[in-house]
Amino acid sequence: MRSPGSKSGSWGSRARIPRTFRIETALSSSCVRLSGRESLRVFSMHRWSKLFIPTLREAPADAEVASHKFLLRAGYIRQLGAGIYNYLFLGQRSLNKIIAIVREEMDKIGQEFYLPGILPRDAWEESGRWTGMGDNMFRLKDRKGADLCLGMTHEEIMTSIARNELRSYKQLPQIWYQIQTKFRDEPRPKGGLLRVRQFIMKDSYSFDLDKTGLDRSYELHDEVYRRIFTRCGLKFVAVEAHSGSMGGSHSQEFMVYTDAGEDLIASCPECGYAANLEKATSRLETVAEMEPTGDGKPELVQTPGCAAIADVAAFFRISPASDIKCVAYMALKRGAGGAPDRWHGVAAFLRGDHQVNETKLLGAIGAAELRTMQAEELTQYLNGPAGYLGPVGLSPDAEPLGAGLTVVVDKALAGRGNMVCGANKLDHHLRNVTPGRDFGWTLSADIRSVNEGESCPRDGCKGKLVVGKAVEVGHIFKLGYKYSESMGARVLDENGKEVTPIMGSYGIGIERILTAAIEQSNDANGFWLPPSIAPFTVVVTVTNMADAALRETGEAIAAELEAAGLDVLLDDRNERAGVKFKDADLVGIPYRINVGKKAATGQVELVTRKLSSGAKAGPEMPAAGSEDVTLSDVLIRLKEHLEEEELLLASS
RNA sequence: CGGGGAGUGGCUCAGCCUGGUAGAGCACCUGGUUCGGGACCAGGGGGUCGGAGGUUCAAAUCCUCUCUCCCCGACCA
């Protein structure tokens, strides 16, 4: 078909293809030839000598975490700006493999869309997130002065499609997804691809008629996510998570343990309980209460210089667990329906040996931001200096003291008695203070972080929690009605009644999968990726290109493996063997075939990178994880290895 | 945004304190010798010393402003 306007015929039009065009299979390669002369396919085989794989002997000084260093050294990425990276050949190849897996699995439950990355302001106004997203959103104006932003997530856009198109319960459920570039103006990008300002995300959205439907869509995602991460070779855990600014009731994060991670996970080795620290709870041992002194009522005690918990505990000869500490914040509440945002005071009270979890606190009071109070604000809201703040005498939400102050008491203080707390007076504390009897609060909530060694919160479990760092690679949310309601998506149910669809939202960070995989499998020399996401499955290293016999053997093996459907990289560079080995160890390819001296006797070496980790190899000493294989067995043996890996994954 | 650090050839860094007109190793190019764990010899190319302004006979070096990047914190689907 040719469009009416194109007289000469557009590119790809049949009539314009030269008469000499033909497809032929060359002996050594399957090249498509143009005019019988020019090869259209430059890479009939991936030859290292022709590729751009800029490996670095040394990592740039500003790379800190392992994956960052190795991604740079292996020539996967190059930095363009803070949190902005170029993905080069190997990096892009690996990402493509990850994307292919994600797509293949997602296609089982959802339909792929492709939404714009640049978005008009309107959609964001409706949900209230134009302002709600704050500085994390990249904003720009078009030539007419209209506001636009770069997409950081697509709930609004997907919901607008649903609102415009979905009319009947018969059209539900729907699961729509996309694999798309996201932009977030992170305050502090870091760790190479760990936290960046532009990244690829698979995001999906479900629309269901009711809660049962949502549960189903959520379960489907849970299942598919586990398959995706398993196929990508990640050792992951699913943990209970905080929903953050997304809103919603239930959410679960998929985490990979690594010290490079930014999240803290509490888990129980006994029962498998696992939760993000922003969400985790624990069962506390009961604390032996102190005997009341005097008449048992709150008593003012002079405590000069005891501003720190440790000082107070020492002064009273008590455990910090019997002290009540105060952390005072100013909290920002977003104005609803065009009302201005407003800062107000929040006093959080908790056990002296406990730490405030600001995410939990934010959730408890429904605020968007927190900052600690300045000295003047402490005086204004609590009439006390830092170090001597206490809950007694505060009248929440009443004039004059504590006006507008929200008093939040941690759940761990419930049922306690005869404690010590600040007296809101310099160098003074109160003892014999009992929550409920001696002071009240605006709300009582779990606002503390659990500590390692505390008891698992699950009934009947005697395990002790351990806390570890992890990277988040995926997150699934039960969103509820937040967007469908605010944006007015409605369908008619079977009774002809208008109902609001209930939504879920589900994300996977594509680069994070690569990063996490590298973090979990690296040594001093480089890293190794699972075959499923490695840019190449195997590198055929010809140890001496000057030797025609070796060269030909290498070519033959590479051709054979490629014909069998494997991704093969032939290292045909005119480099010394040592250089090639070092590079091969560095760039993440899981298998290597050394074509060297033994080729004369019909043998090559098959090296499994992960088994050679950390082992020293010398001229006379084969690398660990290396096995001699006859030429005719190379393919079979390699396939056996690959099958083993898959079995291993499936069983984990 | 607060605190700390760094910008000198592609990479790692020295030179800066005490101003005199830019260096090393690696990488790159040419020739030769090597050729299984990042070879050696000889020759060669490449740097507005992040940018702007100032002081000075003279600035990589001293002063002021500024930009960028990294780390810690704040922040964070």
Structure confidence by residue, pLDDT tens digits, A467-526: 999 999 999 999 999 899 989 999 999 999 999 999 999 999 999 999 999 999 999 999
Taking each continuous run of H as one helix and of E as one strand, the counts in chain A are 14, 38
Taking only Cα atoms into account, the Rg of chain A, rounded to an integer number of angstroms, comes to 31
Q: Which residue is nearest to nucleotide B77 (CA to C1')?
A: A246
Amino acid code (one letter) for A634: V
Check residue A247 and give its pLDDT. Answer: 52
Q: What is the DSSP string of A290-348?
A: PPP-TTSS-EEEE-TT--SHHHHHHHHT--GGGEEEEEEEEEEEPPGGGPPPEEEEEEE
**Which nt is closest to the CA of A545, judged by C1'?**
B35
Separation between the CA of A82 and the C1’ of B50 (whole angstroms): 16
Q: Which has the minimum average pLDDT: A33-47, A256-270, A445-459, A631-645?
A: A33-47
**Which nt is closest to the CA of A158, judged by C1'?**
B77
Residue of higher predicted confidence among A16 and A612: A612
Average pLDDT, chain A: 87
Amino acid code (one letter) for A207: F
List A267's β-bridge partners, or say none. A274, A466
HSE-CB for A341 with a 13 A CA cutoff: 15
Pinpoint the alpha helices (H) of A203-281. Answer: 211-231
Q: What's the pLDDT band for A443 if we cut at 50, 70, 90? A: confident
Secondary-structure class of domain A299-449 per CATH: alpha beta
Separation between the CA of A55 and the C1’ of B12 (whole angstroms): 14
**A3: helix, strand or coil:** coil
Q: What's the pLDDT band for A616 if we cut at 50, 70, 90? A: low
Separation between the CA of A330 and the C1’ of B2 (whole angstroms): 17
**Which nt is closest to the CA of A583, judged by C1'?**
B38
Q: Could you check whether the bond before residue A173 is cis, i.e. omega within 30 degrees of 0?
A: yes
Check residue A49 and give its pLDDT. Answer: 92
Q: What's the pLDDT band for A14 if we cut at 50, 70, 90? A: very low
**Which nt is closest to the CA of A242, judged by C1'?**
B77
Separation between the CA of A54 and the C1’ of B22 (whole angstroms): 28
**Which nt is closest to the CA of A603, judged by C1'?**
B36
Q: CA-to-CA distance for A70 and A527, rounded, in angstroms?
A: 7
For chain A, the structural domain boundaries read 15-43, 81-281+466-517, 299-449, 526-651
Separation between the CA of A87 and the C1’ of B67 (whole angstroms): 25
Q: Could you check whether the bond before residue A400 is cis, i.e. omega within 30 degrees of 0?
A: yes
**Which nt is closest to the CA of A203, judged by C1'?**
B77
Q: CA-to-CA distance for A129 and A566, rounded, in angstroms?
A: 47
Is residue A154 within 8 Å of residue A90, measured between CB atoms? no
**Which nt is closest to the CA of A575, judged by C1'?**
B35
Q: Which residue is nearest to nucleotide B6 (CA to C1')?
A: A62
CA-to-CA dists, residue A640 to A304, A475, A635, A644, angstroms: 74, 34, 9, 6
| pLDDT tens digits for range A189-237 | 988 999 999 999 999 999 999 999 999 999 999 999 999 999 999 999 9
| pLDDT tens digits for range A380-431 | 788 888 888 899 887 655 444 445 788 899 999 998 999 999 998 889 999 9
Contacts for A63 with CB less than 8 Å, ≥ 6 apart? A69, A72, A192
**Percentage above 90 pLDDT, chain A:** 62
Separation between the CA of A61 and the C1’ of B18 (whole angstroms): 29
**Which nt is closest to the CA of A153, judged by C1'?**
B77
Q: CA-to-CA distance for A68 and A77, rounded, in angstroms?
A: 9
Q: What is the layout of strands, in order, in the sheet containing A522-523?
A: A522-523, A526-528, A587-588
Contacts for A357 with CB less than 8 Å, ≥ 6 apart? A277, A278, A447, A448, A449
Check residue A622 and give its pLDDT. Answer: 58
Question: What CATH number does the domain located at A526-651 have?
Answer: 3.40.50.800
Q: Which residue is nearest to nucleotide B75 (CA to C1')?
A: A187
Tell me which residue has tokens 């697509």.
A154
Is residue A298 within 8 Å of residue A473, measured between CB atoms? no
Q: CA-to-CA distance for A147 and A242, rounded, in angstroms?
A: 31
Separation between the CA of A579 and the C1’ of B30 (whole angstroms): 22
Separation between the CA of A578 and the C1’ of B47 (whole angstroms): 32
Separation between the CA of A21 and the C1’ of B64 (whole angstroms): 68
Separation between the CA of A149 and the C1’ of B9 (whole angstroms): 40
**Which nt is closest to the CA of A547, judged by C1'?**
B35
Main-chain dihedrals φ then ψ at residue A377, nearest 5 degrees: -70, -35
Q: Which residue is nearest to nucleotide B69 (CA to C1')?
A: A82
Q: What residue ranges in A352-410 does DSSP mark as E strands?
A: 355-356, 369-372, 406-410
Among A368, A348, A367, which Cα is nearest to A449's?
A348
Separation between the CA of A479 and the C1’ of B70 (whole angstroms): 37
Within 10 Å of residue A565's Cβ, how many Cβ atoms? 9
Predicted ipTM?
A: 0.93
Pick the CATH number of A81-281+466-517 from 3.30.930.10, 3.40.50.300, 3.30.565.10, 3.40.50.720: 3.30.930.10
Separation between the CA of A62 and the C1’ of B4 (whole angstroms): 15
CA-to-CA dists, residue A12 to A37, A38, A42, A466, A641, angstroms: 20, 18, 20, 61, 43
**Which nt is closest to the CA of A152, judged by C1'?**
B77
> Is A649 a residue whose pLDDT tops 80?
yes
Separation between the CA of A68 and the C1’ of B60 (whole angstroms): 31
Q: Which residue is nearest to nucleotide B34 (CA to C1')?
A: A576
**Which nt is closest to the CA of A618, judged by C1'?**
B37
Buried/exposed A248-259: b ≥16 CB within 10 Å, e otherwise: bebbbbbbbbbe
Among A127, A153, A130, which Cα is nearest to A487's?
A127
Nucleotides of chain B in contact with protein CB (under 7 A) are 1, 5, 11-13, 25-27, 34-39, 68-77
Distance between alpha carbon A420 and the CA centroid of its chain, in Å? 41
Is residue A322 within 8 Å of residue A420, measured between CB atoms? yes
Among A646, A644, A545, which Cα is nearest to A599's?
A545
Separation between the CA of A189 and the C1’ of B3 (whole angstroms): 17
Between CA A490 and CA A177, with CA A249 as vertex, the angle to 5 degrees is 60
Read off the pLDDT of each residue in A523-540 and give the average, rounded to a whole number. Answer: 96
Q: CA-to-CA distance for A253 and A257, rounded, in angstroms?
A: 12
